[in-house]
Structure 1
Amino acid sequence: MKLIHLIFFSFYIISSNTYAQYTDVINSNRPGNSMSAFSVGKTVIQVESGLNYINEKHDLLEYTANGYSADLTTRYGFFREQLEAIVNLNYQNDWYNSDMQSTHRTGLKTTTIGFKYLIYDPMKNYEKKIDVKSWKANNKYDWRQLIPSVAAYAGININTNRELFARTSNTIGVFGPKAMVITQNVLPKSWVFVTNVFMDQYGTSMQTLGYVVTLTKGFNDHWSGFIENRELSNEYYSDGFFTGGAAYLLGSNLQIDASVSRNYKTTPNIFYAGIGASWRFDGNYDEVLYRKPNKEEKKEKGKKSKDKGKGKKRKDAI
Structure 2
Amino acid sequence: MTVFKKIFPLALLLSAGIATAQYTDQINSNRPGESMGAFSVGKTVMQVETGIYGIKEKHEVLNNKTKGLGLDLTLRYGAFLEQLEFVADIQYQFDQFEDAIYVTNRNDFRQFVIGAKYLIYDPNKNYHPEVNIYSWKANHKFKWHNLIPSVSIFAGANLIGKNNPYSFPDDGLSPKVIAITQNRFNGVIWTNNFIADKITTDYPSYGIISTLTRAFAAKWSGFVELQGYKSDFYADVVGRVGAAYLLNDSMQLDASISKNFKDTPSILYGGVGFSWRFDADYHDILLPSQADAEKDQSETDKKMKKKKEREEKDRLDNVPTE
Both proteins in one fold, TM over 0.5: yes
1:24 Cα offset (Å): 1.5
Supply the distance in 2 between the matched residues of 1:138 and 1:268 (Cα, whole angstroms): 49
**Counterparts of 1:124 and 1:280 in 2: how far apart (Å)?**
24
Residue 40 and residue 95 in structure 1: after superposition, are their counterparts in 2 closer, same or farther (change >3 A)?
Answer: same
Unaligned segments of structure 1, at least 5 residues: 287-318
Instruction: Quote how far apart the aligned CAs of 1:147 are.
Output: 1.0
Please tell me whether the aligned partners of residues 83 and 119 of structure 2 are also in contact (alpha carbons under 8 angstroms): yes
**Letter aligned with residue 203 of structure 2:** M
Change (3 A) 1:285 1:204: farther
Quote how far apart the aligned CAs of 1:164 are: 1.2
Distance 1:56 1:129, change over 3 A: same
Aligned residues: 275
Paired residue secondary structure (2:145): helix
TM-score, length-scaled by structure 2: 0.80
CA distance in 2 between counterparts of 1:199 and 1:124 reads 29
Query: TM-score, normalized by length of structure 1?
Result: 0.81
Measured in 1, the distance between the counterparts of 2:141 and 2:91 equals 46
Q: 2:260 aligns with which of 258, 263, 275?
A: 263
Given that residues 162 and 171 in structure 2 are in contact (C-alpha distance below 8 angstroms), is that contact kept between their aligned partners in structure 1?
no
Contact 1:109–1:161 under 8 Å retained in 2: no
- Aligned to 1:114, the other structure's residue is in SS state strand
What residue is the counterpart of 1:210 in the other structure?
A: 207
Identity of aligned residues (%): 45
Cα distance in 1 for partners of 2:165, 2:125 equals: 46
CA–CA separation in structure 2 for the residues paired with 1:136 and 1:225: 25
Amino acid at match of 2:181: T
RMSD: 2.1
User: Partner letter of residue 282 of structure 1?
Assistant: D
Partner residue in 2 for 1:64? 65
Matches within 5 A, 1:22-171: 22-131=23-132, 137-160=138-161, 163-166=164-167, 170-171=168-169
Indicate the SS of the match to 1:262: strand
Tell me, in whole angstroms, the C-alpha distance in 1 between the residues paired with 2:89 and 2:64.
29
Question: Cα offset for 1:282?
Answer: 1.2
Q: 1:171–1:205: 8 Å Cα contact kept in structure 2?
A: no
**Whole-angstrom CA distance in 2 between matches of 1:139 and 1:199:** 37
The answer for the alignment partner of 1:289 in structure 2 is: none
Over 3 Å counting, the alpha-carbon distance change for 1:127 and 1:159 in structure 2 is same
Secondary structure of 1:24's aligned partner: coil
In the TM superposition, what is the alpha-carbon distance from 1:4 to its structure 2 partner?
Answer: 4.3
Deviation (angstroms), 1:269? 0.8
Query: Going by fraction, where is helix more abundant, 1 or 2?
Result: 2
> Counterparts of 2:155 and 2:100 in 1: how far apart (Å)?
41
Tell me whether 1:284 sits opposite 2:281 in the alignment.
yes
- Residue number in structure 1 paired with 2:174: 176
CA distance in 2: counterparts of 1:221 and 1:108, whole angstroms: 37
Higher relative contact order (CA 8 A, sep 6+): 1
Q: Which runs of 5+ in 2 are unaligned?
A: 284-322
- The CA distance in 2 between the partners of 1:90 and 1:135, in whole Å, is 46
Q: Map of 1:195-234 to 2, 5 A cutoff? A: 195-234=192-231
Q: Which amino acid in the other structure matches residue 50 of structure 1?
A: G
Report the secondary structure of 1:276's partner residue. strand
Cα contact 2:50–2:273 (8 A) shared by 1? yes
Q: Give the aligned residue type for 1:179.
A: V
Please name the residue that 2:308 is paired with.
Answer: none
Contact 2:207/2:229, CA 8 A, preserved across alignment: yes
Q: CA deviation at 1:126?
A: 1.0
Partner of 1:185: 183
Matched with 1:248 is 245
Partner letter of residue 176 of structure 1?
S
